[in-house]
Amino acid sequence: MARKHKSRDSGDIIASVIVHGLGVAALLCGLFVLWWGEDQTSRYYRLGSSALQSAVEMTDISKVDPSFEGKLVHATGRAECAAPLEDPLFGVSLKAFTLKRDVRYYQLVEHEKKKKDENGRIEVTYDYSARWMRSPVLPDRFHSSYQKKRAKLPLTELKSLSLTAEDVRFGAYLIPRFLVTSVHNAQPVKPALTEEGKAALRRQLHAAGDLLHETEDGFYIGSDPSIPHLGDVRI
């Protein structure tokens, strides 16, 4: 009875060795990353514990004490802003580290996809989807004439706003700006507009009365805040 033999050329053997080698390398790399991450976490914990042990307690922050100069200290108190941050258009005025007006536009966006066919030629296709964007999207560059007609410009355009308190103090100590901007515990602020203020806002935004809606943390310009349409604006 004849026997069949399977043969593998050197290319198959080399490929097999490479694949197994890559698997081992990936495993070793994963173990190294895991070890490095645990080592870094442990190192930061030791540094933090060491810092707390060597820190000197500052019981009174109401006055600058030269004896603490150059020392690592820990203290408890309230940071205070000297002046409020204001967004007069929306009637917002409050003492805070930062105040941001976030404006988004519901726009049609083009997505390009490239794929190589069997002959090595590159095929380019374009997809379109509606998304909330930080700035208006110009449809002039769209490759689809149908999507150009479908796209809508924003009902109005309004700049985003970002304000940072200049004079923030921890007792008698001035908090540097880089620490003020590093605080990321942002909370939504509800505008406090009077009817006169709302009318002025409509005039400035060129929005009809039935298009301006007040939401929990801002305003919506469009027919229905629960069903966004192209061209709507969220503030």
Q: What is the pLDDT of residues 163-173, one digit of tens each?
A: 999 999 988 88
In this model, does residue 88 exceed pLDDT 80? yes
pLDDT of residue 52: 62
Of 110-119, 156-165, 201-210, 215-224, the poorest mean pLDDT is in 201-210
The average pLDDT across 215-228 equals 90
Distances (CA, A) of 89 to 95, 107, 181, 191: 17, 24, 23, 9
| pLDDT score for 1 | 41
Give the per-residue pLDDT at 31.
Answer: 43
- State how far the Cα of 27 lies from the Cα of 21, in Å rounded to an integer: 10
User: What are 5's two structure tokens?
Assistant: 């033999």
Residue 82 reports pLDDT greater than 50:
yes
Question: CA 124 to CA 143: how far, in whole Å?
Answer: 11
- Find out whether 79 and 183 touch, Cβ atoms under 8 Å: no
| Percentage above 90 pLDDT, the chain | 30
Task: Give the lowest-confidence range in 19-28, 129-138, 217-226.
Answer: 19-28
Running DSSP on this structure, what letter comes out for residue 182? T
Confidence at 218, pLDDT banded by 50, 70, 90? confident
- List, for residues 125-158, the tens digit of each pLDDT value: 999 999 999 999 999 989 999 999 999 989 888 8
Residue 24 has pLDDT above 70, yes or no: no
Per the CB < 8 A criterion, the answer to whether 235 and 202 are in contact is: no
CA angle at 164 for the pair 162 and 167, rounded to the nearest 5°: 165
Range from 14-18, 208-212, 222-226 carrying the lowest mean pLDDT: 14-18
Please list, in sequence order, all residues whose beta carbon lies within 8 angstroms of the beta carbon of residue 186, skipping any fewer than 6 positions away. 98, 100
Averaged pLDDT, 178-188:
85
Place of tokens 């308190």: 165
Q: Quick one: pLDDT band at residue 42, thresholds 50, 70, 90?
A: low
Q: Rounded mean pLDDT of 8-20? A: 40
28 to 14, 17, 19, 22, 43: CA distances (angstroms)? 21, 16, 14, 10, 22
Q: Which of 177, 204, 186 is nearest to 90 (CA)?
A: 204
More confident residue, 58 or 9: 58
> 10 in helix, strand or coil?
helix
Highest mean pLDDT among 68-77, 157-166, 202-211: 157-166
Cα–Cα distance for residue pair 170/67, rounded to 1 Å = 17
Are the CB atoms for 141 and 180 separated by under 8 Å? Answer: no
- CB contact at 8 A, 145 and 128: no
Residue 202 has pLDDT above 90, yes or no: no
